[in-house]
Structure 1
Amino acid sequence: MKLTIKYFASIREKLGMAQETLEIEAPLISISGLRDRLIARGPHEAEVLDSARPVRVAVNHEMVADTFVLRQDSEVAFFPPVTGG
Structure 2
Amino acid sequence: MRYFARLREQFGLDGETLTLPDPVVSVADLIAHLSSRGGVWASELAPGKVFRVALDQELADPSAPLRDGAEVAILPPVTGG
Q: Report TM bin, short chain.
A: over 0.9
Partner residue in 2 for 1:57: 53
Partner residue in 2 for 1:12: 8
Gap runs ≥5 in structure 2: none
Moved over 6 A (4+): none
State the one-letter code of the partner of 1:35: I
2:49 is aligned with 1:75: no
Root-mean-square deviation (Å):
1.3
In structure 2, what is the Cα distance between the partners aligned to 1:28 and 1:46? 17
Identity of aligned residues (%): 40
Partner residue in 2 for 1:38: 34
Contact 1:28 1:71 in 2 (8 A): no
In structure 1, what is the Cα distance between the partners aligned to 2:30 and 2:24? 10
Q: Number of aligned pairs? A: 81
Report deviation, 1:43: 1.0
TM-score normalized with structure 1 length:
0.89
Q: Indicate the larger mover: 64-73 or 49-58.
A: 49-58
In structure 2, what is the Cα distance between the partners aligned to 1:72 and 1:44? 26
TM-score normalized with structure 2 length:
0.93
Report deviation, 1:25: 2.1
Gap runs ≥5 in structure 1: none
